[in-house]
Amino acid sequence: MIKDKGRSILTESGLKITPQRIAIMEALLTIKDHSTAEFIKEYVTKNNPNLATGTIYNILEAFCQKGIIKKVKTEKDIMRYDVETKSHNHLYCDECDYIKNYFDEELDRLLKDYFSKKNLSNFSIKEINLQIVGNYSPHKNN
């Protein structure tokens, strides 16, 4: 059950287990996609009508700190949150706000090898984000 999965992720993280955190964890795991705080709020307030907006941001920030989720920048000024933990990059559609996951180990290896070979002076790489911007034909909301 998805609620149990969320709860165990919380336990492993060492965060206090609260109804609000369980609800948001459940929302993230159910929605899967790159949710906005606003969308998560709509989802969780069905069952938790008093869950405050600030609490949602606090909790999402706490999850990020623990590495449970990651922030994803968008073209607009809206933060999105990614619950996918496997290494991947993103296809950004420039006609709508849809962001599709792009998994490819070959690409990951290619970049990793490239930069270990290059050895940038005075810069230690922690993360490489590849944004593939273009047009994704079968939109989500068609």
The residues binding a second copy (CB under 8 A) are 73, 77, 91, 94, 100, 102, 104, 107, 110-111, 114-115, 118, 120, 122-138
Of the residues 96, 110, 125, 133, which one makes contact with Zn ion according to CB under 5 A: 96
Mention every residue, 6+ apart, whose C-beta is less than 8 A from residue 101.
84, 88, 89, 90, 91
Q: Residue 76 carries which side chain, given as an amino acid letter?
A: K
DSSP state of 89: E
Sign of CA dihedral 115, 79, 14, 27: negative
Query: Is residue 20 within the footprint of DNA (CB under 7 A)?
Result: yes
The kind and range of the H/E element at 61 are helix 53-66
Query: Is residue 96 within the footprint of DNA (CB under 7 A)?
Result: no
- Token code pair at residue 103: 């998994």
Pick the closer one to DNA by CB: 64 or 91: 64
Binding residues for Mn ion, per CB under 5 A? Answer: 82, 84, 101
**Which residues lie near DNA (CB under 7 A)?**
15-21, 36-38, 48, 50-55, 57-59, 61-62, 77-79
